[in-house]
Amino acid sequence: MVQMLVVDDEIYALKGITQGIDWSGLPLSAILEAGSVTAAKQVMEQQQVDLVISDIEMPGAGGLELLRWIHDRFPHTLVIFLTGHARFEYARDALQLGCFDYALKPIDHGLLKEIVSRALTEIAEQRIRQSFSKLLEEQQLQWNKQLPVLVERFWQDLLAGRIPYQPERLNRQFALYNIPLTADHYVLPVLLSIEHWKEDMSAQEETIMEYALRKEAAQSIIGTLGGVVFQDSHELNLILLYCTNDQLPDREALLERCRRFIAASGKFHCQASCYVGAPAPVEELAEAIGSLLQAERTNISSPQSVIDAAETGSTGAPGEFGIVPSPGEWAELLEQGRQEELVPLLELTVKKLQEESASRETLEQIYYGLLHLFYQTARRKGLSIYDLAGIQELNDPLATRSPQHLLQWAVRLVSKTADAFPGITRSASPVIAKAHQYIQDHLQKDLSRDEIAELVGRNPAYLSRLFRKETGMSLSEYITQQRIERAKQLLVESTDKISSIAEGLGYVHFSYFAKLFRKLTGLTPQDYRRLHRQP
């Protein structure tokens, strides 16, 4: 609804408009009156006025002055002028100042009502435009607020293969997310590896500290360079520096930034390393990151350092990352039914086979290695390989004819294997199962992540990510949980002193053990024994 104000110093003219015209058919919520410009200003300062009908000639301040004041204070209010003199300069000034319409007195009531009706239509459309503009502004603010998250999600989807490499589509999405790249540009990847937390933290606390570390990396490593820091779907902390074909970051300056960042990482209570790759086309970015990941996995001698993977050629030993599969990793992925991660590795292997013109002998080597992998995985799941595929499909002579045939065969079997596993409870991967067993057997020792990582043959940072992904908790949380579970068992089943039980589980200070036990169980060790032990 609209509130209309009529302004005229002649009372009869004023009443003739406000009361002499039947306004009932129009969406007017109120018709207000003012006998002067001063009175009109007072009315408009006290309540909303959407439409003004005003005489142009009045004693003192006239209608033109009122129009100027309205435009300064209430720019969305429409003004209709009425005058008893057909003076050209009035009409010219009124129209130049932006009045909605201009008419001569005496005006036919029907004509005035028609002018007001048009003004009301304009007000309704104006409100729609204002509403849309406000909505657009709010959504723009919301978009800008969410843009960093959307950019991270875009890179996660691209690296996971959920966005196909199509130059036109990529260019549209780069523009949508304000990423200063095109499909033919390069990206320089850096893997930020958190190798060790110096304080015992829960999985949630580690996640928070990782976020803080990424924020610091964005400031100290990317700085004024274009790029993004994010965590991908495999919980890898990645830094991507945007490059154009004719503008690459100064490598030595970048390495120095990374060194300063690693040196300062202690304030986040962690030990970290940076693996710096070479600029890669967007199309090959996932492969470049895979190379950095392999460099991290095999780095057991240079902790807390900056590894220039481009200079050292740290793309993994030929038997671990290249044209020959990595049996340990592939077995883990296959056994856990994670085909969305295994298939890209198969595709990467086939690409390398094609690039290096692999021999028939190499194809057969990989074929039999994969076949053995399927046999072993099925056996560990309590299945026969023939529950997954027929003998002809397993012994497909076409599989070794070309890399592409090998890929098609392997993907079919991976899919069949993954389809057969959902109904079977997933066990821990061999690496994590081995870590579990070692922890159970050595709860009395001062266990360290590096010690466990060395035992299972994995880089500590990689082990931490894998452990948290499979168990939902950090290594330190798991060790503490298992020690308290063992303590609960001994409190009930043995007559040992509580201090001896604590000491036997590696807790030198009994007060710390008692406090921790109560925190996790809600009871003191004495109360727990009294409550659960059979009389």
Q: Tens digits of per-residue pLDDT, 124-146?
A: 999 998 888 888 888 878 887 88
Question: Is it true that the peptide bond before 106 is cis, omega within 30 degrees of 0?
Answer: yes
Given strand 78-83, what is the order of strands in its sheet? 28-34, 2-7, 51-55, 78-83, 101-104
Q: What is the mean pLDDT of residues 236-260?
A: 87
Predicted pLDDT at 316: 38
Best mean pLDDT range from 329-333, 385-389, 512-516 = 512-516
Report the number of distinct structural domains present in the chain.
4
Pairing of strands 280-281, 186-197: antiparallel
At 424, the pLDDT band (50, 70, 90 cuts) reads very low
Confirm if 191 and 293 have CB atoms less than 8 A apart.
Answer: yes
Kindly tell me if the per-residue pLDDT of 428 is higher than 70: no
At 286, the pLDDT band (50, 70, 90 cuts) reads confident
Residue 152 lies in a domain: no
Q: Are 262 and 302 members of one domain?
A: yes
Residue 508 lies in a domain: yes
Residue 329 lies in a domain: yes
Q: Which of 462, 498, 154 is nearest to 328 (CA)?
A: 462
Q: Is the Cα torsion angle 485, 490, 491, 497 positive or negative in sign?
A: negative
Confirm if 449 and 196 have CB atoms less than 8 A apart.
Answer: yes
At 29, the pLDDT band (50, 70, 90 cuts) reads very high
Using the 3D structure, point to which of 376, 402, 427 is the last residue of a domain.
427
Q: Are 280 and 337 members of one domain?
A: no
Q: What is the mean pLDDT of residues 382-389?
A: 70
Ranges 118-127, 320-329, 413-422: which has the least confidence: 320-329
Q: Are 421 and 434 members of one domain?
A: no
Q: Which of 432, 421, 435, 424 is nearest to 470 (CA)?
A: 432
Please give the model's pTM, rounded to 2 decimal places: 0.51
Q: What is the mean pLDDT of residues 468-494?
A: 86
Q: Which of 207, 307, 236, 275 is nearest to 466 (CA)?
A: 236
Kindly tell me if the per-residue pLDDT of 320 is higher than 60: no
Q: Which two tokens stand for residue 363?
A: 């194809």
In tens, the pLDDT along 154-178 reads 998 888 777 878 889 899 999 999 9
Residue 133 lies in a domain: no
Share of the chain above pLDDT 90, in %: 32
Q: Are 168 and 281 members of one domain?
A: yes
Q: Are 504 and 516 members of one domain?
A: yes
Where do we find the tokens 């308290």? 484
At 501, the pLDDT band (50, 70, 90 cuts) reads very high
- Higher pLDDT: 60 or 230? It is 230
| Spatial separation of the C-alpha atoms in residues 3 and 122, rounded to whole Å | 14
Predicted pLDDT at 317: 35
Kindly tell me if the per-residue pLDDT of 328 is higher than 80: no
Query: Which CATH number belongs to the domain containing residue 481 in this structure?
Result: 1.10.10.60
Q: Which two tokens stand for residue 514?
A: 């008692």
Predicted pLDDT at 61: 83
| C-alpha distances out from residue 187 to 23, 160, 181, 278, 279, Å | 68, 16, 9, 8, 5
Ranges 1-5, 190-194, 320-324, 412-416: which has the least confidence: 320-324
| Spatial separation of the C-alpha atoms in residues 306 and 239, rounded to whole Å | 14
Query: Which CATH number belongs to the domain containing residue 53 in this structure?
Result: 3.40.50.2300
Q: Are 321 and 237 members of one domain?
A: no
| Spatial separation of the C-alpha atoms in residues 449 and 380, rounded to whole Å | 27
Share of the chain above pLDDT 70, in %: 90
Q: Are 235 and 171 members of one domain?
A: yes
Confirm if 179 and 244 have CB atoms less than 8 A apart.
Answer: no
Q: Are 251 and 268 members of one domain?
A: yes
Residue 518 lies in a domain: yes
Q: What is the mean pLDDT of residues 264-279?
A: 90
Q: What is the mean pLDDT of residues 99-106?
A: 87
Q: Which two tokens stand for residue 74?
A: 């209430």
Predicted pLDDT at 429: 67
Using the 3D structure, point to which of 282, 314, 346 is the last residue of a domain.
314
Ranges 362-371, 474-483, 521-530: which has the least confidence: 362-371
> Residues for the chain: how many in total?
535
Q: What is the mean pLDDT of residues 316-334?
A: 51
Kindly tell me if the per-residue pLDDT of 258 is higher than 90: yes
Ranges 38-42, 88-92, 494-498: which has the least confidence: 88-92
At 17, the pLDDT band (50, 70, 90 cuts) reads very high
Q: What is the mean pLDDT of residues 473-477?
A: 84
Written as one string, the DSSP assignment of 198-256 is: SS---HHHHHHHHHHHHHHHIIIIITTS-EEEEE-TT--EEEEEEEBTTB---HHHHHH
Kindly tell me if the per-residue pLDDT of 247 is higher than 80: no
Q: Are 443 and 516 members of one domain?
A: yes
- Higher pLDDT: 209 or 235? It is 209
Residue 444 DSSP symbol: T
Query: Which CATH number belongs to the domain containing residue 225 in this structure?
Result: 3.30.70.270
Predicted pLDDT at 448: 82
Ranges 185-199, 416-430, 444-458, 513-527: which has the least confidence: 416-430
Mean pLDDT of the chain: 84
Kindly tell me if the per-residue pLDDT of 223 is higher than 80: yes
Q: Which of 470, 473, 475 is nearest to 455 (CA)?
A: 475
Q: Are 119 and 8 members of one domain?
A: yes
Residue 150 lies in a domain: no
Q: Which two tokens stand for residue 266?
A: 């202690």
Q: What is the mean pLDDT of residues 247-266?
A: 89
| Spatial separation of the C-alpha atoms in residues 38 and 66, rounded to whole Å | 9
Residue 155 lies in a domain: no
Residue 173 lies in a domain: yes
Q: Are 226 and 353 members of one domain?
A: no
Using the 3D structure, point to which of 314, 343, 364 is the last residue of a domain.
314
| Spatial separation of the C-alpha atoms in residues 13 and 55, rounded to whole Å | 9
Q: Which of 297, 287, 340 is nearest to 317 (CA)?
A: 297
Q: Are 418 and 329 members of one domain?
A: yes
Q: Which two tokens stand for residue 508?
A: 């030198």
Q: What is the mean pLDDT of residues 269-290?
A: 89
Predicted pLDDT at 103: 86
At 421, the pLDDT band (50, 70, 90 cuts) reads low
Q: Which amino acid belongs to residue 177?
A: Y
242: number of Cβ within 10 Å:
21
473: number of Cβ within 10 Å:
17
At 422, the pLDDT band (50, 70, 90 cuts) reads low
Q: What is the mean pLDDT of residues 428-448?
A: 82
Structural domain that includes position 414? 317-427
Q: How many helices (H) and strands (E) does the chain have?
A: 22, 11
Kindly tell me if the per-residue pLDDT of 182 is higher than 70: yes
Q: Which two tokens stand for residue 468?
A: 């948290």
Where do we find the tokens 């030595």? 252
Predicted pLDDT at 425: 40
Q: Which of 485, 490, 494, 493 is nearest to 517 (CA)?
A: 485
